[in-house]
Structure 1
Amino acid sequence: MYPFLRKAHGLHTTSLSFYSNLIDRCLSLKSLGVAKLIHAQLIKVGFNCNTFLGNRCIDLYSNLGKFNEALQAFDDIPNKNIVSWNVSLKVFVKSGDIDGARCLFDKMPERDVVSWNSIISCYASNGFADCALGMFSEMQNNGVRPSGFTSSIMVSSVTCARNGKQIHGCIIRNGLNLSNVVVGNSLIDMYGKLGLLDYAFAVFFTMEELDVISWNSLISGLCKSGYEELALNQFYLMKSAGYLPDEFTISTVVCVCSNLRDLEKGKQFIALCVKVGFLSNNIVSSSAIDLFSKCNRLEDSVKLFEEINRRDSVVCNAMISSYAEHGYKEDALKLFVLTLRDNIRPTEYTLSSVLSSASSLLPAEQGSQFHSLTIKLGLESDMVISGSLVEMYASFGLIDCAMKFFAQTNVKDLISWNTMILGLTRNGRVAEALDLFKELLVEGPPPDRITLTGVLLACNYGGFVDEGWSVLSSMEKKYGVIPRLEHYACIVDMMSRAGKLKEVIYVVETMPHNPSASIWESILRACSFHGDLKLTEKVAEKVIECEPESSLPYLLLAQAYEMGGRWESMVRVKKAMKERGAEKMIACSWIGIKDHVFVFKANDILYYGGQDVDLVLRLLNQEMEDEGCGSTI
């Protein structure tokens, strides 16, 4: 028997305050066993039907994560007041049961601002921003005046500029002026996330009172919108105005240095962290690990990570991502396994990095185990995870699995759409990729440069020259995306494959970017294939200028001379290749079978089974040609 329960044992007329104090003690202990003992005593003396103590029991079970017991306590109260309903509504909100929350909300005999805040928060925290906005409007139509907390919830769930400005207007109309620091900070953060920095500065300058969070929100918004230098200037102004930076401030400016790839400035901020003792904060440490990684100092990232005594998911995620970004994907997977053994719960970002590593290293069977882990952790519906799963299955060539999972995803962000379009394209399903793009235009977010790169690749692989050219010429006007070098590279390759050599040369000469080596290489292959020796010589010179160590221009030029019977020229080119030390490219591919990954390098095929493997490859190639997927040999 717990000592503080002895007084209650056998007493049926104990005051309400005594049991309320017991519940307070239980909340501090966070003990389910004690909670059940107290509840049993209340049932024994009949106090479970008391509205006040019943409400306390609901809150107690809710805080302990026992939602069924909380709702049972709610049902035991015969005379429910608005607090009873509100506390029970929060039970559904905490458990993430949106349908249950809405059902209870609709049954409430009366609703106050707390009730509305709970249901709005339920929708907002589960990603249903439109529903949250609808309830916010309905709340005002029912004559309930929003509180500062309501505004904070709405501001944090905004996904587009129009809704953000509407909510800002509602805040002003409801008399919540910028003397409220919390509301002001929420608005700065909202406008920063939306990239509306003029509005963020306007709110900042009109606030009657500022605090560290105000400065942090502004600096963070500038960093996320790509204004790194301006973010650093605001940090210096913050210090000169007498505000002391906290851990979040320092982690943000270290991230700024990471984006700028400015190691020297980053080191200065890390030195400041050491001086004031912030480096022990894992958020700051993770930012420092990311800085070293992005500045190509992975060894320093590893050294800092090894010096951290208490590791959490934030630090481990930073190190896993660093390994993955530098190509050390096996190390990323090993560290992930170690974090699981240490009972460190992976975040969605950790799993995203791991899924990316798994798709290039592991067989599909083991990749599906990571999918099972995301389900077990309840992260499968997360947009970051769903995009990574789609990418993983597409990388494995399991494009039907990727499509099935994509279709089942409730909330699709642009990354998911882009991943699926690129996945279909790279797996030869170009017509489906273009159909999906049309579907995106109807029901999805506006396309970006990556979306249009995927569409142009699909046009390239499918030989849809007219459609590809139409997309490129209308990108800026129709979608607000200025064509970049990667878009022109797709068009050049597409037209080169179609044999439109004169047109492709015109495109290269008139495009607003300097052609890359890959663009000239696409044209060179086409020239060589179509036997245009004069143009082959001209383009080969361009490739050598851009990439002198590449062997491709020498090999294709030598081949062209050989086909034209110019033997002396062929010998001269091969000699020049040898003298300049041009590296011969070795192509490779790999396949995962059970627990092994087999790598096939060019001219290495005899090692893996000689004529049998060659025969199978040719049969597969013939089958692909029959299905219109193009030749690979």
Structure 2
Amino acid sequence: MIVVFVCMFSLLQKAHRFHHTVSFFSGIIDQCSSLKSPSNSLKLVHAQLVKIGLNFSNVYLGNRCIDLYFNSGSPKDAVKMFDDMSRKNIFSWNLYLKVLVKCFDMATARRVFDEMPERDAVSWNTVISGDHAKEMHCRIVKNGGCYSNLVVGNSLIDMYGKLGLVEYSLAVFLSMEKVDVISWNAMISGCCKSGYERFALLLFCVMRSSGFEVDEYTVSAVLTACSNLRNWEKGKQMFCFSTKMGFLWNAVVCSAAIDLFSKCNRLGSALRVFKESCVFDSAVCNAMIACYASHNMEENAFHLFVYTLRESIRPTEFTLSSVLHSAAVFVPVEQGSQLHSLAIKTGFEAEAIVASSLVQMYNKYGLVEFALKIFSKMASRDLIVWNTMILGLADNGKLFEAIELFEKLLESGLHPDQITYSAVLSACSYGGLLEEGMAVFSSMQQQQQRGVVPMNEHYTCVVNMMIQADMINEAIDFLYSLQWEPDSRIWESLLLACGDYENLELIEAIADGLMELEPHSSLPYLIYLANTYEQRGRWESVVRLRRKMEKVTRKEVADISWIGIKGHTYSFEANPTCHHGRENVCSILGFLKQDMSTGDDSVFIN
């Protein structure tokens, strides 16, 4: 297609149709954005621009190329295009500033901002979105252009919301002379992104009572708040409201509705919204792929992903992350490597969410070296990827490496959470590394002021380490010293470890405790205790337990049958005294009994 356009352009050039040439070139650039490799196709177009000198003289076409280079994941080409332009306007500078803020360093972006020949609201908004937000806010206030300028004020609200500084967002919002629906949307969205979902719902109620008309962005933000809260009742109300307002045609609203149903365990409803959706784009498909993946339907997620690729729908980093999680479950290593290649090709390998999923995938494949290679290349590592890598090392038998990586995590300045300690304690438990494990557990106890409180899974690891070291008494003392009530798994591990233990009273105490914790499934513990008595010649105790076991197995259970007729379910208990339609049921049963006794089976025909 690009070759055809280039040939057409050559004909226009020979005919000296300059204005038609510019218009036609704009159409070529539009077509580039819809192709599978927009950057490569645009380079061919760019070459033609250089050939005739239009990239130096025509500002409009140059700006279009900068924008497309940036959106297609080629920021360096966008910067080169800007440098080659001999004429630039405010739009050129704003695009250049956008590239610098998003892809390069803020110091350069700040210098460019100061050197710009002119600035508008877009310029301020762009530089505000960088890391020097508070500093830029102060400059705006000094220049008197904050609370009276609606666009700048909305940008500050949005920026503080993205940074998680809801208090600053609210302060700007309340100080503005005038607010509009964009102000409300930015405020609600910022609350959702910062963990203040309940406050976002309150703001939505205030917005409506204040007479502001909501739009699709408002609805999508509120649906997201309900999804994060797993609040099905309010989410259902918002979904009905969005349907009534006709907002489901919007891809953002549709994807937010699918996400709501997914997180509230309404898979059927999510699938129905997806199938009946009027739009079929990246956002909607991403939401459905994530829905499948979160409900352990990895194969469905993978098939939908392949279908989107065939439909030329460009994947996002969130799509790839969901698919990589699914691939780790059922896709062969070869196809997992192909997904890795796709992540590299699309430029998403460096994204934290994709890199973390790649680490998890290779760990589940048992290819720890590949996972470590990706982990080491990551520019920034959050706690999730550290936990994933430590757990991957532990699961693949790299126990000392897991402990070493945990120590590097502490050196990095990040604070471990409960998942971190569970991973490293699992490594110590697998290897019977009691000394190292107790040191880790001790450091965990020191983190309780940060909200890192030991749970059953951590206590289980400690007890298992003590059992492997043949420290049964110490394990028992440890459990009795806890202010936490251990679950049955811990006591069960201890009971199994006491098989050859001489203290029969202790075994009886543990078994009795387990039967109290799990009265409905106490039979295995009774059997274990009976076998223990038998090994020690305690025959009277064996007989006593056998009788108790018979009582457990012969507990009276009411037999119930039920049948559904025309949307109603009728239940019948064993030996009922009365039930709905008893006379008719008994009559029919008598009729069937009579036919069966005479050997006439014609009643069962038809």
Q: TM-score range by the shorter chain?
A: 0.7 to 0.9
* Alignment-derived partner of residue 17 in structure 1: none
Q: Secondary structure at the match of 2:486?
A: coil
* Alignment-derived partner of residue 121 in structure 2: 148
Q: For the Cα contact (< 8 Å) 1:421–1:436, is it kept in 2?
A: yes
Aligned counterpart in structure 1 of residue 298 of structure 2, from 305, 322, 329:
329
Whole-angstrom CA distance in 2 between matches of 1:364 and 1:79: 46
Whole-angstrom CA distance in 1 between matches of 2:366 and 2:545: 40
Q: For the Cα contact (< 8 Å) 2:290–2:301, is it kept in 1?
A: yes
Q: Secondary structure at the match of 2:248?
A: coil
Aligned counterpart in structure 2 of residue 468 of structure 1, from 436, 440, 450:
440
Q: Secondary structure at the match of 2:212?
A: coil
Matched, 1:122 2:99: yes
Whole-angstrom CA distance in 2 between matches of 1:533 and 1:188: 68
* Alignment-derived partner of residue 356 in structure 1: 325
* Alignment-derived partner of residue 391 in structure 2: 422
Matched, 1:190 2:167: no
Whole-angstrom CA distance in 2 between matches of 1:579 and 1:155: 74
Percent of aligned positions that are identical: 42
* Alignment-derived partner of residue 631 in structure 1: none
Change (3 A) 1:324 1:95: closer
Q: For the Cα contact (< 8 Å) 1:456–1:471, is it kept in 2?
A: no
Whole-angstrom CA distance in 1 between matches of 2:289 and 2:62: 42
Q: Name the amino acid aligned to 1:467.
A: A
Change (3 A) 1:409 1:511: same
Q: For the Cα contact (< 8 Å) 2:257–2:270, is it kept in 1?
A: yes
Say which one has the larger Rg. 2
Q: Name the amino acid aligned to 2:175.
A: T
Q: For the Cα contact (< 8 Å) 2:189–2:221, is it kept in 1?
A: yes
Q: For the Cα contact (< 8 Å) 1:524–1:536, is it kept in 2?
A: yes
What are the equivalent positions in structure 2 for 1:224-623 lying under 5 Å apart? 224-442=193-411, 447-462=416-431, 463=433, 464-476=436-448, 480-485=450-455, 486-501=457-472, 504=475, 508=479, 513-527=484-498, 533-548=504-519, 553-554=525-526, 557=529, 560-561=532-533, 564-566=536-538, 569=541, 580=552
Whole-angstrom CA distance in 1 between matches of 2:501 and 2:93: 70
Matched, 1:138 2:111: yes
Q: For the Cα contact (< 8 Å) 2:262–2:270, is it kept in 1?
A: yes
Q: Name the amino acid aligned to 1:237.
A: V
Q: Secondary structure at the match of 1:358?
A: helix
Matched, 1:69 2:45: yes
Aligned counterpart in structure 2 of residue 177 of structure 1, from 146, 153, 156:
146
What are the equivalent positions in structure 2 for 1:83-98 lying under 5 Å apart? 83=59, 87=63, 90=67, 92-98=69-75
Q: Secondary structure at the match of 2:53?
A: coil
Q: Secondary structure at the match of 2:249?
A: coil
Root mean square deviation, CA, Å: 4.1
- 1:562-619 CA-partner distances (Å, limit 9, x unpaired): 555545556766776676579xxxxxxxxxxxxxxxxxxxxxxxxxxxxxxxxxxxxx
Cα deviation, residue 333, structure 1: 3.5
Whole-angstrom CA distance in 2 between matches of 1:289 and 1:575: 55
Q: For the Cα contact (< 8 Å) 2:124–2:152, is it kept in 1?
A: yes
Whole-angstrom CA distance in 1 between matches of 2:249 and 2:114: 49
Q: For the Cα contact (< 8 Å) 2:59–2:88, is it kept in 1?
A: no
Whole-angstrom CA distance in 2 between matches of 1:89 and 1:366: 35
Q: For the Cα contact (< 8 Å) 2:292–2:298, is it kept in 1?
A: yes
Q: Name the amino acid aligned to 2:125.
A: S
Matched, 1:37 2:8: yes
Cα deviation, residue 32, structure 1: 7.7
Q: For the Cα contact (< 8 Å) 2:97–2:112, is it kept in 1?
A: no
Q: Name the amino acid aligned to 2:447.
A: M
Q: For the Cα contact (< 8 Å) 1:257–1:265, is it kept in 2?
A: yes
Q: Name the amino acid aligned to 2:453.
A: P
Q: Secondary structure at the match of 2:178?
A: coil
Q: For the Cα contact (< 8 Å) 1:54–1:76, is it kept in 2?
A: no
- 1:379-409 CA-partner distances (Å, limit 9, x unpaired): 4333322221211111121212222233344
Whole-angstrom CA distance in 2 between matches of 1:149 and 1:451: 43
Length-normalised TM-score, structure 1: 0.71
Length-normalised TM-score, structure 2: 0.74
Change (3 A) 1:349 1:563: farther
Q: For the Cα contact (< 8 Å) 1:457–1:490, is it kept in 2?
A: yes
Cα deviation, residue 199, structure 1: 1.7
- 1:99-148 CA-partner distances (Å, limit 9, x unpaired): 4455666788898865654344224434x5xx1x2223323565767643
- 1:167-223 CA-partner distances (Å, limit 9, x unpaired): 433443555413333333333233333332222211221122222222222222323
Whole-angstrom CA distance in 2 between matches of 1:146 and 1:507: 67
Change (3 A) 1:136 1:222: same
- Identify which range, 53-62 or 228-237, moves more after superposition: 53-62
Q: Secondary structure at the match of 1:515?
A: coil
Q: What is the aligned residue count?
A: 539
Q: Name the amino acid aligned to 1:215.
A: W
Whole-angstrom CA distance in 2 between matches of 1:235 and 1:201: 14
Cα deviation, residue 422, structure 1: 1.4
- 1:272-319 CA-partner distances (Å, limit 9, x unpaired): 122212233343333333333333332333333333354333333333
Q: For the Cα contact (< 8 Å) 1:492–1:519, is it kept in 2?
A: yes
Change (3 A) 1:341 1:119: closer
* Alignment-derived partner of residue 217 in structure 1: 186
Whole-angstrom CA distance in 1 between matches of 2:10 and 2:147: 45
Change (3 A) 1:368 1:55: same
Whole-angstrom CA distance in 2 between matches of 1:99 and 1:148: 25
Change (3 A) 1:73 1:424: same
Cα deviation, residue 423, structure 1: 0.9
The gaps in structure 1 that reach 5 residues or longer are 1-29, 583-633
